[in-house]
Amino acid sequence: MARRQNDVQFSIEIDRRTFEWFNSTAPSKLKEARNKAVEAAGMVFADTAKAITTEEDHIDTGLYVNSIGYSTGTPSNPIYDMTSGASETNLDIGADVRYAEPLEKRYGIMARGLDRGKERMERVAETQVKRILGL
């Protein structure tokens, strides 16, 4: 059976100010909104993983908690590496202590942090996008 392809064409007229905004301002605003959304979601993830660790009493020092995502005290060496390209933003976040991997293997703290924090991560990301784009 042969498929028939229909071409649809239309034109949209927009005023010069709108056209200029889409060509000059929109790309940087969209990138800023994307970066802030990723950053905000990462903070929620880190906070959730810290809370799980504390609530379940997985450690007896604050070093691990202080090194998840961002520093909440010293000494700590958090893993927080955000890179942003033209079309995507990536965030590597975690804990840089020698026992982080065994804790994750045994208790799944980071994985559960993502699961527990997902809804709030989505909300804060959406809030950032709306705020920056003025929606």
How far apart CA 36 and CA 67 sit, in angstroms, is 21
Bridge partners for 8 per DSSP: none
**Residue-averaged pLDDT of the chain:** 86
Per-residue pLDDT tens for 88-114?
Answer: 899 999 888 888 899 889 999 999 999
Q: What is the pLDDT of residue 3?
A: 56
Task: Say if pTM beats, i.e. exceeds, 0.85.
Answer: no
pLDDT, position 7: 64
Contact between 37 and 125 under an 8 Å Cβ cutoff? The reply is yes
The single-letter DSSP state of residue 61 is S
Percent of the chain predicted with pLDDT > 70: 89
Per-residue pLDDT, averaged over 12-21, amounts to: 82
